[in-house]
Amino acid sequence: FSGAGHLLPYHLGAARSLFASQVGLHNEPERVFATAPLGLPVRAVAGSSSGAIAAAVMALLPHRLEEYADRFLQDRGHALRNLTCMLQEETSVASEETRRSSLPLTICTTKCSDGSMQLFDFPDEKRDLPYLLHTIQASCTIPPTFHPYDIISSRPLSYPQEGAIKIDGFHYVDGGIAAPAPPTPFDMDVNSHRIVISPLSGGHSASESSIRPRDT
């Protein structure tokens, strides 16, 4: 999932279409961990910026996608706050089987010191909720000195630590700067196919597919 800003509902709609029918979402939550209606088994998800939130919802709350979208729209935002509340609710009631069934999740951030991509992987069997939410917060934190040109710039980048999120002794900001559409651990697997979901129109490489608006 790429960065999307206030277009986060686009991501959620794409996730819903890929991952489960309406019946599966509400009445058969176990189906969403198997095969999508298009016949595509989902092995892992990754996200940058607000796409990190969409990826987390798809990986951890597939049975509550519509509920999350409704909360986001009713609150006119507050995406991270709603994600935090819903994940805390799940922690108190989720069964061990549901936790095992969730997808591997990768959150992308940008390292302040050199502008490099930093990936945080959360396998399905091992997740620390506060740490996960902290990395998502970092992935959504736009540095005050950011300019849109930074995304396509070839020059070395760095960002001030002020306002950044500190994780394991290093400071990180919005993952969409270093990797607008971050990789998953399975991208190089010959048995997997990468799908990029983005609310921005444009092309894609021959080695991947994309879900995005079409230029007219």
Q: Measuring CA to CA, which residue among 58, 66, 69 is closest to residue 23?
A: 66
3-state SS of 50-70 is: HHHHHHHHHHHCHHHHHHHHH
- The yes-or-no answer on residue 201 being catalytic is no
Q: Are 44 and 185 in contact (CB under 8 A)?
A: yes
| DSSP single-letter state for residue 103 | P
Residue among 50, 139, 150, 174 flagged as catalytic: 174
Q: What φ, ψ does residue 120 adopt, rounded to 5°?
A: -115, 115
Task: List Cβ<8 Å contacts ≥24 apart for 159-162.
Answer: 159/110, 159/112, 159/115, 160/112, 161/112
- The yes-or-no answer on residue 49 being catalytic is yes
Q: Are 165 and 137 in contact (CB under 8 A)?
A: yes
Residue among 2, 48, 49, 102 flagged as catalytic: 49
Q: Are 191 and 43 in contact (CB under 8 A)?
A: no
Q: Are 90 and 96 in contact (CB under 8 A)?
A: no
Residues tagged active-site: 49, 174
